[in-house]
A and B are shown apart, each in its own frame.
Chain A
Amino acid sequence: MGRVLVWYGELTTASSLARRGLLLLLPGLLWLLVFLVIPGLLLIPLSFAERGPFGEVVWTFSLENYRRLLGFGVLGFSLDNLMALLRTLWVALVTTFICVLLAYPIAFYIRAQEGGRRYLLLALVIIPFWTNLVIRTYAWQLLLAPEMPLARLLAALGLVEPGMALFPSAFAVYLGMVSAFLPFMVLPLYSSVERLDQSLVEAVQDLYGGPWRAFVHGVLPQTLPGLTVGVILTFIPAMGMFVVPDLLGGAKHLLVGNLIQQAFYTMRDWPYGAALSLVLVLMTLVALRLYRRYGKEVDLA
């Protein structure tokens, strides 16, 4: 194939371009294929395998893992695994929602500042974003201890027993999740909020009256791109989170992430872990699909 063309100022042929391009792509592509794509696909047959008595993989075709997932376990039928899946969805949704609620005020607040202070505030948001999650999460263990002000306050109000820490508990898990993901939501949202056309919002406000309407019809559509990125960056990792429920939820508020970690790490039950991982991927894909469809509708409005 000797068709000569000019590409970015270079006189060459399509085939030599393709050859060069592939050469450049190949190392990175191969790496991702070998260490990500192919093993990911391997999870599928692995999920139909079984665990041997000592943790090795026995390659058969068995629906045992999925049956266990659905609740048909050794101690009789239980909804607990399905509950864990639903709980994961719920926690991820609530976390994302609370993050959105908090991120808008933060973004607007930053926007309302002048140049230098803006950078400072953005840096303040970025710093926890880059701080290690384990550190940020165990720090909550410290803050929620019985001797700390928050626990004492709640005990004084009679909401908790005096002397008991505020973790492990669902409350602690939500605290940990929101504080983990808030920066992920603020940063993309801010990039949209920064470009907000104030005059448009005021026009909408004139048309509809009331701040709520102004928000929904004026601010929301304009900030949708940033919001979308923020929601995706929050919701999806939240579904796969295990550090926060592990450190702050004890053994009671297990999310799918914890089950997967147990399967791969402590129980050495790779087939079961693979099945769980695939279910997580499925849930993530479905959620993405739904969001894209719903998101389009909001766009049209």
Chain B
Amino acid sequence: MSALVTLSFTVNGRQRRVRAPAMKRLLDVLREECGLTGTKEGCGEGECGACTVLVDGLPVNSCLIPAVQADGAKIITVEGLAKGPKLTALQTAFVEMGGAQCGICTPGMLLSSYALLRRAKGRVPREAEIREALAGNLCRCTGYQKIVDAVRAAARKGPRR
């Protein structure tokens, strides 16, 4: 039994080694030990999805994952989407089409969308599919319409992202 653990995992392709309380939330490890504040806390209950990251390719609520279970994981956060100043088609669509208003849900929303587009493998998802993929990401600003439009537009742009 231990309260502290040493974790090895990759975040956005970069290897990290972190010593942290075993039950510390992955959300807080990312924001504090890793200095990546792009992932947000909106509720701490797994309802709002603002804390969404990809763990081994799957979108999950990082506010519900204890650090000890992130050992050996491949994690992608919003900071890992763009290549430097070059945004992905998805991010560009959000900026240009009104997919981001206050922006607090945007990191989580982007990761869930990204996961959907990867699964779709170049196919343009139907509106119903997009809405279901994003059902775990609450947005209070947009009414979701322009987020759905942006995801579809990004899908049309090309095979990946």
Indicate, yes or no, whether A interacts with B: no
Q: Chain A interface (Cβ within 8 Å of chain B)?
A: none
